[in-house]
Chain A
């Protein structure tokens, strides 16, 4: 389990972001309508993805941008590196992108002699600490003020202070230089508007905008599910995720990019490249049971709502995406049997589904993945359950499907428990270590019912 500082920070997500989400959604007059609209739009796009991708591509090309479809993370990384080498790029500034974590992009760039700098404050901290993001929208949520202070003084030689303003301004000074030096800006993308060929980025720190406007080349790496049909739809999506993420009415910065600098523009990048990444997403697309996982807006609301995430933290999920949505996406992108524990590490409380701005039914998909891991109907090669486990379940169901057999066995167990008391409390050791086992009743309810008189008020008197 986690140390008390991290535990406190994670609990804070519930009182902070989660409560703010509830407030913002209840302040939004037509919230449920907005949710349904958002969901419908995603549904339409995901069901007709090829059509929208083609439209988007043609729009980007006609505005002078380049489009590359990458089937795998490696393919996407290679495209970025080749481009960087060709254009003699030495320094890259990056704004927050979970997809770049799928690609291990920073690591790969560094290997190729290119220096990447994260410019989102949280991501900057995580990069200095040589870690991975702990939360989709609050990557350094696990770091305390004093840890950040120590990290900054070690890595960038700041003065010994825990003053947040001072620390932030130190980071800003460092990053300002990088923005000026950088030859390439790499961003993710929150939305791709097909009809206009526009990349929309939302951020709170303004770093995204600087990554897209200061360096001479802008590369956006975006998952193929991030597409939306029209500008009109963008209105829905500028409200839904941010209100669910932090409870803000709208993000501090909304940046829209349609291609590189035009001849009449006074600034902006000379080149704009859009890398659209699959990396396993088409596997989810192909399965109607899991398709809705592609509706995810990466707002992090399900993480804040999740009591399991708040106990285990973001580094316990084994791959890029933590929390409830991570428990669906990670096994699907990396291989179900590799992420076999994730679907089971949930109490199925449903807080994630309740918090989701597009009502993604995460518990339903967790149940589906559990079934696949146990029975392997759709993915026979991914079945990881043991034979004894399946036999035990079969025996249990066989007994319970026969009430006479069940009653006989329960009666016998209760009798045996009179001489062997441990039978009375049959729960497994993993339960009993921290919780008392309930005791088998001497007589079941059904047995007692037959002879019940109770207090005389049980049966209705005419």
Chain B
């Protein structure tokens, strides 16, 4: 079990949702892990890669590799999409003499719920549950890259289910994309919104108060759509939800 991890918040969390990264740090720390943060972190380069600007993406890949090749701790990202970027695409974008470093970094880079389950070996969070936190009705959206590119699907569900004060309600077609897709959401706003609409119809069907996922970008999209529609459903990152349900009064 690693006693120390380095948290890479991702550009979205660092700049728009710092509270989510804080929740992730808090949860990991409650599970007995020392969390460190590299102050030089910015972005993994995925937005540039996905929009076709590979040479620009390479600059950020090289930065990430030079930032993290010297440390030997596991790197945790609260995003399946950015984790997949590193694991599946970095080797095509990095400097040739960095292949070894990229391979090394890929093997110690983990998505947040993947780290908890596969690295820490924790699938059951009930020993860490809060005695006071209120029970909430939650539904889970499977972020595409976490599910299909990293093959992490049952893990987050098992973590959520193990927390008594989370009532997990299955959503129909939870594996269908929410329509975000990075620049796709602004290049093709009508299609992207139509996809969000269908997704949110399925969220509504569950009657849950909260929709959660492992990627903030999906939640930013779904949440942004729900705000415009004046819906009273919150979108919370799985780390925030775990943070809430684990509370501060957990048993040691």
Contacts of B188 in A (CB 8 A): 344-345
Known contacts being A346-B181, A431-B189, is A446 close to B41, with CB within 8 Å? yes
In angstroms, how far is the closest chain B Cβ from the Cβ of A7? 9
In the complex, are the beta carbons of A347 and B51 less than 8 A apart? Answer: no
**Contact digits for A408-428, partner B, Cβ 8 Å, 1 yes 0 no:** 001000000000000000011
Contacts of B37 in A (CB 8 A): 445-446, 449
In angstroms, how far is the closest chain A Cβ from the Cβ of B60? 6
In angstroms, how far is the closest chain B Cβ from the Cβ of A106? 31
Interface stretch among A72-80, A150-158, A250-258, A366-374? A366-374
Contacts of B51 in A (CB 8 A): 370, 374, 393
**Contact digits for A352-373, partner B, Cβ 8 Å, 1 yes 0 no:** 0110000000000001001111
Contacts of B211 in A (CB 8 A): none
Count residues of A near B (Cβ-Cβ below 8 Å). 63
> A400 within 8 Å of B by Cβ?
yes
Contacts of A206 in B (CB 8 A): none
In angstroms, how far is the closest chain A Cβ from the Cβ of B129? 14
> B39 within 8 Å of A by Cβ?
yes
Interface stretch among A163-171, A293-301, A331-339, A435-443? A435-443
Count residues of B near A (Cβ-Cβ below 8 Å). 75
Closest to B225 in A: A435
Known contacts being A396-B56, A397-B59, is A438 close to B17, with CB within 8 Å? yes
Contacts of A354 in B (CB 8 A): 148
Closest to A347 in B: B181
> A450 within 8 Å of B by Cβ?
yes
In the complex, are the beta carbons of A311 and B195 less than 8 A apart? Answer: yes
Of the candidates A367, A401, A439, A455, the one whose C-beta lies within 8 Å of that of B42 is A401
Contacts of A346 in B (CB 8 A): 181, 184
In the complex, are the beta carbons of A398 and B18 less than 8 A apart? Answer: no
- Candidate in B15, B17, B33 with the most chain A CB atoms within 10 angstroms: B15
Contacts of A452 in B (CB 8 A): 22, 25
- Candidate in B16, B21, B39, B60 with the most chain A CB atoms within 10 angstroms: B16
SS class, residues of chain B in contact with chain A: helix
Contacts of B32 in A (CB 8 A): 460
> B54 within 8 Å of A by Cβ?
yes
Of the candidates A11, A401, A430, A437, the one whose C-beta lies within 8 Å of that of B63 is A401
C-alpha spacing A437/B227, complex, angstroms: 10
> B121 within 8 Å of A by Cβ?
no
> B102 within 8 Å of A by Cβ?
no
Contacts of B39 in A (CB 8 A): 403, 446, 449-450
> B71 within 8 Å of A by Cβ?
no
Within 8 A of A (CB), among B117-171: 144-145, 148-149
**Contact digits for B215-252, partner A, Cβ 8 Å, 1 yes 0 no:** 00000110111011000000000000000000010000
Contacts of B62 in A (CB 8 A): 401
In the complex, are the beta carbons of A434 and B228 less than 8 A apart? Answer: yes
> A263 within 8 Å of B by Cβ?
no
Binding site for B on A (CB under 8 A): 1, 11, 14, 307-308, 311-312, 344-351, 353-354, 367, 370-375, 385, 390, 393-394, 396-398, 400-401, 403, 406, 410, 427-428, 430-431, 433-441, 443-446, 448-450, 452, 454-455, 457-460
- The 5 A-B pairs at the shortest CB distance, nearest first, are namely A347-B181, A374-B52, A435-B224, A370-B52, A397-B56
